[in-house]
Structure 1
Amino acid sequence: MAKTAFVTGATGFIGLNLVERLCREGWSVIALHRAGSDIRLLEQWGVQRVVGDITDGRSLRGHIPEGVDVVFHVAGNTRLWTRVRAEQMRVNVKGTRNVVRAALAARAQRFVHMSSIVAFGLHGGTITEETPTRGSSSAIHYVRSKALAEREVRRGITAGLAAVIVNPSNTMGAYDLHNWARLFRLVRQHRTPAMPPGGGSFCHAEEVARMLIAAAERGRVGQNYLLGGAQTSYVGLVKAIAGELGVKRRVWMMPPAVLHRYAQVEELASVLFRREPDITREAVALLSENLYCSSRKAERELGYQARPLEAMIADSHHWLRQREA
């Protein structure tokens, strides 16, 4: 009989990659989404859909089948803007607490939590699973919220939840509309003359989805698995995207202090014109750091396979072109 997966965040970037992979592998999928979510992409696979909100524990009641094979908790708020701090805390921390409790109540066989390498905090070197975790004390709210979300999962483990945590690095691929995919639009519109001085590891969304399933099947309870791979500076990333688009762009590295002032102006303008800022002070702070990680543990235990940066950029661009066609 087919295994059953309950997926939160099923209409998001990684959620859609995960649902697609699960369906290809013959799983029965129950996809949770909010009442106002855009479900057009999700509908293509004909999965069972249930309406709920992870920030409201009552709305989860009865949705997770008793003894379900795996709960994949993928939902999260990744925005780097001070104006969404309260919402981010509700989604990333309270939401994780609610899903953990619902999984425990349903006696889920396994629980896979998709976190991020930022949950370990900003260390400046190459992060491994042995790196001391200090994300909960970060001044960047997104970083802090991801670390606190992992704390909720560990409380669930103490209560008997068979949970595994997967920590992807920067991720690119199909179904991305709001993360790194925004750079394609900005590069095309001549709106990225400068970038912060940081850099990071990058992984492919398809491989992240495959690793979430591998974590459910082979991951050790209570363990973190970091997913890295291709490494580049953010200046190098913009240059690579410009190359994929076939355009010439001069890109240089700008001091964080200058970008911070520009971000302040952008945030003020966003309030006046009621739009999302192109850059925020928290984004500048995060992207001015180096966020590299080792994938050796995931390679050894889960069979993780990193992909070249050029392949990730090409796949992202291909999907965006198909969507615009």
Structure 2
Amino acid sequence: MPMAFVTGATGFVGINLVDELLERGWQVTCLVRAGSNTRYLSKRAVRIVNGSITDLDSLRSAMPAAPEAVFHVAGDTNMWSRNNDRQTANNVTGTRNMCTVALEKRAKRFIHTSTISAWGLVDGTITEDTPMKGGLSWINYQKSKFLAEQEVRKAIERGLDAVILNPGAIVGAQDSHTWARLFLMVAQDELQAIPPGALSFAHVREVVRAHVAAYELGRTGANYILGGTDATMRDFVTEICRRLGKPRVPSVLPLGVLSVFARLYALRGALTGREPPITPEVAAMAAKTNPCPSLRAQEDLGYQTRPLAEMVADCADWLIAQGYIERPA
């Protein structure tokens, strides 16, 4: 029975990855921070160990010797500059620590979950050959994820067998905190406008299958973009409204107006100490249109894409089943 060590297992992608590994007969150890919500994870046949990716000693105690795979899924997706120091510690120092301990423990392979955002605020189509500019970005999420990839590459030079995955916007079941917030706003008639821009949407089940395939088939040191259905934010929200029985689709907010609101919210957040609902970082990223072909992942990993309607349905149905959203009449 192969052994996997998984970080970020209480999160959206992590819990789906755990399910995929268990279905394939893996023995799974999950690193969980003290105080994390293990409501869903504790129902799985996994070993849960406490620790933090920012604490080397706790990692050394938590990671078993010679695991077949280390899946480093944990990441800080913060979009508020007030939390930049914490985010850098989690994404950069945390990844450095994970690589260090994986080398010490002689992990067979290290799968690093990065993001399309590691390319930074680039224009047009993104492929694996597009020069990465995340290190130059003023958005700390993009910069920290770029720098995290550099930590993986340094570890590869020291002998770590690692593969890097770059998902787009991930949608699907078991999401209660990422895109699920948008579903909740639609369900509660709180979404007043839609941001401009477009994204490449990926189904979470295909993303986690690609993680396992990366362990089995990925090329050491390679990046694999996991994109999917390219759609505007209006397309996405329209599909959510349709699934939740909401006839009114909000209008698209012009970028200039969105940016003004973002700056005002950021100012209020600085005064109150409360995280704003929209930040300049969110506004800047929401305005981009970056198609993300997944040809390398399709060829090497057998990665597949699914229709937007299917991902939206899976997310909505799970939220309804868990009581987050009322079933449409």
Alignment deviations for residues 153-174 of structure 1 (CA, whole Å, 9 cap, x no partner): 0000000000000110000012
| Residue matched to 2:173 | 174
How many residue pairs match? The answer is 324
1:286 lines up with 2:285 in the alignment: yes
CA distance in 2, matches of 1:290, 1:140: 17
CA distance in 1, matches of 2:185, 2:273: 19
One-letter code aligned to 1:252: S
Alignment deviations for residues 179-217 of structure 1 (CA, whole Å, 9 cap, x no partner): 111111111233323222210100011111110010001
* 1:130-209 alignment runs, 5 A limit: 130-209=129-208
Cα distance, 1:268 vs. partner? 4.4
8 Å contact from structure 1 (residues 74, 113) kept in 2? yes
> 2:25 aligns to what SS in structure 1?
coil
CA distance in 1, matches of 2:49, 2:147: 27
Alignment deviations for residues 12-61 of structure 1 (CA, whole Å, 9 cap, x no partner): 11110000110111000000000110111001112001100001112111
8 Å contact from structure 2 (residues 80, 275) kept in 1? no
CA distance in 1, matches of 2:67, 2:141: 30
1:215 lines up with 2:214 in the alignment: yes
* 1:225-304 alignment runs, 5 A limit: 225-270=224-269, 275-304=274-303
> 1:77 aligns to what SS in structure 2?
coil
8 Å contact from structure 1 (residues 7, 72) kept in 2? yes
8 Å contact from structure 1 (residues 122, 291) kept in 2? no
CA distance in 2, matches of 1:164, 1:213: 11
1:76 lines up with 2:41 in the alignment: no
Q: Identity over aligned residues, as a percent?
A: 48
* 1:115-134 alignment runs, 5 A limit: 115-134=114-133
Cα distance, 1:319 vs. partner? 0.7
> 2:310 aligns to what SS in structure 1?
helix
Cα distance, 1:140 vs. partner? 1.2
* 1:69-108 alignment runs, 5 A limit: 69-108=68-107
Across the aligned residues of Structure 1 and Structure 2, the Cα RMSD in angstroms comes to 1.4
CA distance in 2, matches of 1:46, 1:58: 26
CA distance in 2, matches of 1:177, 1:266: 24
Alignment deviations for residues 38-89 of structure 1 (CA, whole Å, 9 cap, x no partner): 1110011120011000011121113222221000000001121111111110
Unaligned runs of 5+ in 2: 325-329
Cα distance, 1:271 vs. partner? 6.0
TM-score, normalised relative to structure 2: 0.95
| Residue matched to 1:109 | 108
CA distance in 2, matches of 1:231, 1:42: 31
CA distance in 2, matches of 1:89, 1:116: 15
One-letter code aligned to 1:306: T
Unaligned runs of 5+ in 1: none
8 Å contact from structure 1 (residues 190, 249) kept in 2? no
8 Å contact from structure 2 (residues 15, 41) kept in 1? yes
CA distance in 1, matches of 2:249, 2:313: 20
CA distance in 2, matches of 1:151, 1:96: 9
Cα distance, 1:281 vs. partner? 1.4
TM-score, normalised relative to structure 1: 0.96
